[in-house]
Structure 1
Amino acid sequence: MSEQNPSGNIFDWAVLKRLFQFIRPYKFRFYVLVFVILVGAALAPAIPLLIKQTIDGPVSSGDYTGLARMMLIMVGVLVLQSLIQFVNTYLAGWLGQNIIRDIRIQLYQKIIHLRLKFFDDTPIGRLVTRTISDIETLADVFSEGIAAIAGDILQLVLIITVMFYTDWKLSLISLSTIPLMLISTYIFKEKVKKSFNIVRNAVANLNAFVQEHITGMSLVQIFNSEKIEYKKFVAINKEHRDANIKSIMYYSVYYPVAEVIAALGTGLVVWFGAKQMLNSEVSYGTVTAFIMFINIFFRPIRMLADRMNTLQMGIVSTDRIIKLLDSDEYTANDGKYTTHLKGEVDFKDVWFAYNQENYVLKDISFKVNQGETVAFVGATGAGKSSIINLLSRFYEINKGEIRIDGIDIKQYDLKHLREQIGVVLQDVFLFSDTIENNITLGDTSISRENIIEAAKLVGVHDFIMQLPNGYEYNVQERGATLSVGQRQLISFVRAMVQDPKIIVLDEATSSVDTETEELIQNAISLLMKGRTAIVIAHRLSTIQKAHKIIVLDKGQIMEEGNHEELLEKDGFYANLYRMQYKEALV
């Protein structure tokens, strides 16, 4: 996924158009926000004008009643401005938070439906950045971006209009420093825009590194790589720090420069206004008003630069989010079949490659009849796990056809297909949640009674009840509080409560002790009863009763038959069997 904004343009209309689509459910509130901001902008010149009238009127004439009246009017205007500011801040924040909630939901829904190949190619840390940091940036777009920029521009136009209407000479003097302000603002905007892209990339890299290395912390410690990984982290963190400091430096330079330019404008007004006052060409109230006009005029210019950068950040983040939302890296679900499966599996001339170049499966053909068990054996990388990934359509085949009950698996509804295939993997993943929720995975149609019945059949119910809170026990992240065998047994319960017609076992007993293996073997026998089973195992002793054993090597089928037939052939399988038999004797 590209980390760069292709246009680099604040007004990327295609991206802005998509951004406004997210606003559509809240368009009434958005219009109210725009109206409130515009009203607030229209009131900006009010106080300087009232000050002018007060000084030139009641103050000059000594009219205390008129002075009190003008004070009340100014207090009323200030209260109204404060109320508008409150509504503006609250409504912009409310709008931003609701929109980013909606976008985050859409984005997460998209992510969980992406095919596994996408996750093979995309660091998880970058997806975290998209889902958290990039979406948070959008909240500022609505609170300090689009509507606020429109308000600032209207405020500038109104102030300039009022200033020229009041005194065109003082207006020209006051605005003579605008070119300096515009030049400095443009330079600041461009510099910060570049630094922002660097910061976002640094954040994504930092997230990816931290996520990956915390997940693999056991490996880091096993190989005493703490110092090496620490140095890598320091280097990546330094890049992140330097990128942020560069951005801070631009802000540190710009704001003092802007203040100096504004002060220069004020000084010119005081100098020129004083000369005019001495010549009785302008009133004291007018000069005072212009000093105030300069302050409120340069403030939105300074804010515009910041808000333009906020909008730029939002455009970059929105562009990245849209790319993810528009990604076509998902498994097409055009199938309509939801018929009851019997479990007959048929691979016909299947070719498959993860990277479109190097095939890991080459012309694979085999058939498993309903209720039969087929086992796959072979060296690591032979293509065993790829077969089960293809059966559940986690990946799409390049050539050939996979059928279940004589129907191409692409013609089945994807959800229905996966519901009928129960998978038990060697590396069991448990969420930081209760045992019950890890078994049901949120499926409310599975009752506690069904869970207990399945757990008793597997032989794990007594163990679960010995835990604090039983089925409500939180297993922590990845099931850290349970042993490998315990996690494996829970995965069998998880598969059994789904009542699948096809069961897939991938190295289900390769990482457990003998006692736990016996429990698991009993669970496997129960799970396979009456179901079509596809088994992948390194331990040949666990698959000797399989109806058919298929030997894979470098993505090709080398031999197939039952245990006795393959031993008689004295080929690949027989060699594997003799090697394991020798290991067992040792």
Structure 2
Amino acid sequence: MSSKSGPTAHGRGPGHGPGGGSMVMGGQKVKDFKGTLKRLLQYLKPRRNKLIAVFFAAILSTIFSIIGPKLTGIAITELFEGAYGKLQGIPDAAINFGKIGEILLFLVGLYIFSSLFTYLQQYLMSDVAQKTVYDLREDVNDKLQKLPLKYFDGHSNGETLSRVTNDIDTIGTTLQQSLTQFITSIVTIIGVIIMMLTISPILTIITVISLPVSIFVIQPILKRSQRHFADQQRTLGQLNGHIEEIYTGHQVVKAFGYEKKAGEQFDSVNEELYQAGAKAQFISGIIMPMMSFIGNLSYVLICVVGGILVTQRAISIGDIQAFISYSKQFTQPIMQTANIANIIQATVAAAERVFELLDEVEEVKEDTSIQLSRAKGAVAFEHVDFGYGENLLIQDMNIDVHPGQTVAIVGPTGAGKTTMINLLMRFYEVNGGKIKIDGIDIQNMSRKDLRNSFGMVLQDTWLFNGTIKENLAFGKEGATDEEIYAAARTAHADHFIRTLPDGYETILNEEASNISQGQKQLLTIARAVLANPPIMILDEATSSVDTRTEVFIQQAMNRLMEGRTSFVIAHRLSTIRDADIILVMDQGKVIEQGTHVELLEKNGFYADLYNSQFSERTAG
């Protein structure tokens, strides 16, 4: 086609339920935590040099801030000893304000350098995080281009969008905020332990004991929160899918009085999301208070033992003050690390959902050994078999269409008419047999070359948010304004376009609901005219327009189909009486074929269909 005349639009009605295919999505928890985390880290490999710089900046920033309490302790000791000497009446005892001033100035300098390195690590990490997320989105976008139609038929748009947006955003936020915090926390823990050991090994042991106690306490909590975070991400995808379905098809919902049922489904999924989110946040929220409690017990012990050591002149008053500061610095990064570990659970759950999408089975790999220029239009189905599952829908189909012929495909609903077109476009792959264009097996040409040979006008129109001119220009790259206007005139769309307030510059909204269904169909027909493909596919192209407009469109279509091979799917048999070949399908098989006159003379299935429609019109 050209995909230029617009890809197939697959809408979903309310009957699919919340999240459509996502309801069958399993996994109450992360299936492979280590594997998913390892795979996520692979995306950071191209930026390892910047990550190393972030690591060193975090170390320097943390070291400078860690030295601060020790210097503050020295200044306090200097102040205390001078003041204490004066109180005791010691000769020459005085507070050395000069030395204290030097210490404080040095301390200010350290904090300035610490802030600069903190800024540097945040700056570098923002670049690493955003480029990593950029790569993820690129991979997901490339993957979506390669997925077969089968995937989109089995997954709601909202579920897919949730993986592309919410889940990747979760990963980006974690990389941006939590990774640097994690590095800083680890460096702080190590640095603080070293500084505490230089002051008092006894007090350090008291402080460090709180670490294994904390790990022992929070480990079972982390395991439980992991499952609930996975549930939260899953139900968020379901909710997005439900909202996308219901609000995209709001007219159908209202027309069939489906509001109450849709509301109940929303409430059900929303309640599930609430329960999963509340449990995840509650359980993870327990971690910080428990860590604080353990830290406070450690703090009390340090104050008591430290006070005893000061009275015994084992350590100075400044050292005990510095140690208390370090003990607080020690528990804070541990709590942050525990919190980050909790965030990582949600991030890995989100990453696993993204990787599940990236691991979906792609379309059969292309064989581009044969380049197809502009096709002449000969189409052949040779012993084609196809089925969506084990049961075949189409069996041993044989069709031979010559260039320029118009082929009409008729039959009851579910006969396989649209499936035949999907096979022709390679939206689905055949189970057996071959489909050939100009004698070339379509398996031996690229999908792009194949689809550039087709123009499609579907019963379900596909228009995007933008001006009418932009929508029409989609049919041909680099189309001039005059070519666009000519195509619109051919499709009898020019008149109604010019009656709009902004004419060809009128902006269509997301669902193109600011123009009528018939007008939308005229625009898609004009787009196909502009594409000028050698083969046309018309799937109930006139079903959404009035009788008078249908006459105009039929005339335009007759001109469009001149010299082109055309496949026309129609229920109104009066519109395809002049077709060169009429294929009558039932239950996946071509049960009759011939011209209109030949099929009427056979007095078979087609004659019954035609006569029943004629009788209906006569009765009307």
Q: Same fold (TM over 0.5)?
A: yes
What corresponds to 1:353 in structure 2?
A: 387
Q: Output the CA distance in 2 between the equivalents of 1:156 and 1:392.
A: 61
The answer (yes or no) to whether the contact 1:435–1:473 under 8 Å persists in 2 is yes
User: Among residues 52, 59, 66, which one is paired with 1:45 in the alignment?
Assistant: 66
For the pair 1:19 / 2:53, whether they are aligned, the reply is no
SS across alignment from 2:341? helix
What corresponds to 1:418 in structure 2?
A: 451
With over 3 angstroms needed to count, the CA separation of the structure-2 counterparts of 1:183 and 1:9, relative to structure 1, is farther
What corresponds to 1:186 in structure 2?
A: 219
Which stretch of structure 1 is more off in the superposition, 481-490 or 544-553?
481-490
Q: CA deviation at 1:97?
A: 2.2
Q: Output the CA distance in 2 between the equivalents of 1:490 and 1:139.
A: 40
Which stretch of structure 1 is more off in the superposition, 70-79 or 539-548?
70-79
Q: Output the CA distance in 2 between the equivalents of 1:100 and 1:468.
A: 42
User: What amino acid is the match of 2:27?
Assistant: Q
Q: Output the CA distance in 1 between the equivalents of 2:592 and 2:279.
A: 63
With over 3 angstroms needed to count, the CA separation of the structure-2 counterparts of 1:8 and 1:533, relative to structure 1, is closer
Q: Output the CA distance in 1 between the equivalents of 2:32 and 2:590.
A: 55
Which stretch of structure 1 is more off in the superposition, 74-83 or 401-410?
74-83
Q: CA deviation at 1:88?
A: 2.6
Q: Output the CA distance in 2 between the equivalents of 1:375 and 1:573.
A: 12
Cα deviations by residue, 1:255-280 (Å, 9 ceiling, x for unpaired): 22222221211111111111121222
Give 1:448-487 correspondences, 5 Å limit.
Answer: 448-487=481-520
For the pair 1:565 / 2:588, whether they are aligned, the reply is no
Q: Output the CA distance in 2 between the equivalents of 1:472 and 1:345.
A: 39
What corresponds to 1:87 in structure 2?
A: 120
User: Among residues 323, 336, 350, which one is paired with 1:317 in the alignment?
Assistant: 350
Cα deviations by residue, 1:303-358 (Å, 9 ceiling, x for unpaired): 1112122233333322322232233322422223223310001011111112x222
What corresponds to 1:231 in structure 2?
A: 264
SS across alignment from 2:380? strand
User: Among residues 544, 548, 561, which one is paired with 1:515 in the alignment?
Assistant: 548
User: What amino acid is the match of 1:439?
Assistant: L
SS across alignment from 1:339? coil
What corresponds to 1:31 in structure 2?
A: 52
What corresponds to 2:339 in structure 1?
A: 306
What corresponds to 1:340 in structure 2?
A: 374
Q: Output the CA distance in 2 between the equivalents of 1:112 and 1:472.
A: 29
User: What amino acid is the match of 2:201?
Assistant: W
The answer (yes or no) to whether the contact 1:144–1:310 under 8 Å persists in 2 is no
Paired positions, count: 583
The answer (yes or no) to whether the contact 2:475–2:530 under 8 Å persists in 1 is no
SS across alignment from 1:359? coil
Give 1:87-486 correspondences, 5 Å limit.
Answer: 87-335=120-368, 336-354=370-388, 356-441=389-474, 444-486=477-519
Cα deviations by residue, 1:43-83 (Å, 9 ceiling, x for unpaired): 34211211222122354231100111111111112222222
SS across alignment from 1:374? strand
SS across alignment from 1:477? coil
User: Among residues 522, 530, 534, which one is paired with 1:497 in the alignment?
Assistant: 530
Which stretch of structure 1 is more off in the superposition, 68-77 or 108-117?
108-117
Q: Output the CA distance in 2 between the equivalents of 1:5 and 1:148.
A: 29
Q: Output the CA distance in 2 between the equivalents of 1:274 and 1:147.
A: 36
SS across alignment from 1:329? coil
Identity, % of aligned positions: 34
Q: Unpaired runs of 5+ in structure 1?
A: none
The answer (yes or no) to whether the contact 1:114–1:331 under 8 Å persists in 2 is no
Q: CA deviation at 1:38?
A: 2.0
User: What amino acid is the match of 2:237?
Assistant: A
SS across alignment from 2:508? coil
Q: Output the CA distance in 2 between the equivalents of 1:209 and 1:472.
A: 33
Q: CA deviation at 1:474?
A: 1.2
What corresponds to 1:4 in structure 2?
A: 27
Q: Output the CA distance in 2 between the equivalents of 1:331 and 1:217.
A: 36
SS across alignment from 1:45? helix
User: Among residues 535, 540, 551, which one is paired with 2:584 in the alignment?
Assistant: 551
Q: Output the CA distance in 2 between the equivalents of 1:97 and 1:193.
A: 25
Q: Output the CA distance in 1 between the equivalents of 2:333 and 2:106.
A: 25
User: What amino acid is the match of 2:149?
Assistant: L
TM-score by length of 1: 0.95
Q: CA deviation at 1:379?
A: 0.3
SS across alignment from 2:592? strand
SS across alignment from 1:395? coil
Which stretch of structure 1 is more off in the superposition, 329-338 or 503-512?
329-338
With over 3 angstroms needed to count, the CA separation of the structure-2 counterparts of 1:7 and 1:221, relative to structure 1, is closer
TM-score by length of 2: 0.90
Which stretch of structure 1 is more off in the superposition, 296-305 or 113-122?
113-122
The answer (yes or no) to whether the contact 1:37–1:147 under 8 Å persists in 2 is yes
The answer (yes or no) to whether the contact 1:430–1:438 under 8 Å persists in 2 is yes
Q: Output the CA distance in 2 between the equivalents of 1:72 and 1:329.
A: 64
Q: Output the CA distance in 2 between the equivalents of 1:142 and 1:287.
A: 37
Which stretch of structure 1 is more off in the superposition, 484-493 or 178-187?
178-187
Q: Output the CA distance in 2 between the equivalents of 1:254 and 1:50.
A: 33
Cα deviations by residue, 1:478-530 (Å, 9 ceiling, x for unpaired): 22111122111111111111111110111111232101111211121121011
What corresponds to 2:90 in structure 1?
A: none
SS across alignment from 1:376? strand
SS across alignment from 2:366? coil
Which stretch of structure 1 is more off in the superposition, 360-369 or 149-158?
149-158
Cα deviations by residue, 1:523-542 (Å, 9 ceiling, x for unpaired): 21121011001111001100
Q: Output the CA distance in 1 between the equivalents of 2:152 and 2:291.
A: 47
The answer (yes or no) to whether the contact 1:338–1:416 under 8 Å persists in 2 is yes
What corresponds to 2:17 in structure 1?
A: none
User: What amino acid is the match of 1:150?
Assistant: I
Q: CA deviation at 1:187?
A: 3.1
Q: Output the CA distance in 2 between the equivalents of 1:443 and 1:272.
A: 82
Which stretch of structure 1 is more off in the superposition, 127-136 or 30-39?
30-39
Cα deviations by residue, 1:3-39 (Å, 9 ceiling, x for unpaired): 53886565x2x43443344334544333222221122
C-alpha RMSD over aligned residues: 2.0
Which stretch of structure 1 is more off in the superposition, 479-488 or 363-372?
479-488
The answer (yes or no) to whether the contact 1:346–1:368 under 8 Å persists in 2 is yes
Cα deviations by residue, 1:225-283 (Å, 9 ceiling, x for unpaired): 21121122112111111222112222432222222221211111111111121222221
The structure showing larger relative contact order (alpha-carbon pairs under 8 Å, at least 6 residues apart) is 2
The answer (yes or no) to whether the contact 1:206–1:237 under 8 Å persists in 2 is yes
Q: Unpaired runs of 5+ in structure 2?
A: 1-21, 83-94
Q: Output the CA distance in 2 between the equivalents of 1:64 and 1:500.
A: 89
Q: Output the CA distance in 1 between the equivalents of 2:392 and 2:189.
A: 64
The answer (yes or no) to whether the contact 1:144–1:307 under 8 Å persists in 2 is no
The answer (yes or no) to whether the contact 1:40–1:84 under 8 Å persists in 2 is yes
The answer (yes or no) to whether the contact 2:493–2:523 under 8 Å persists in 1 is yes
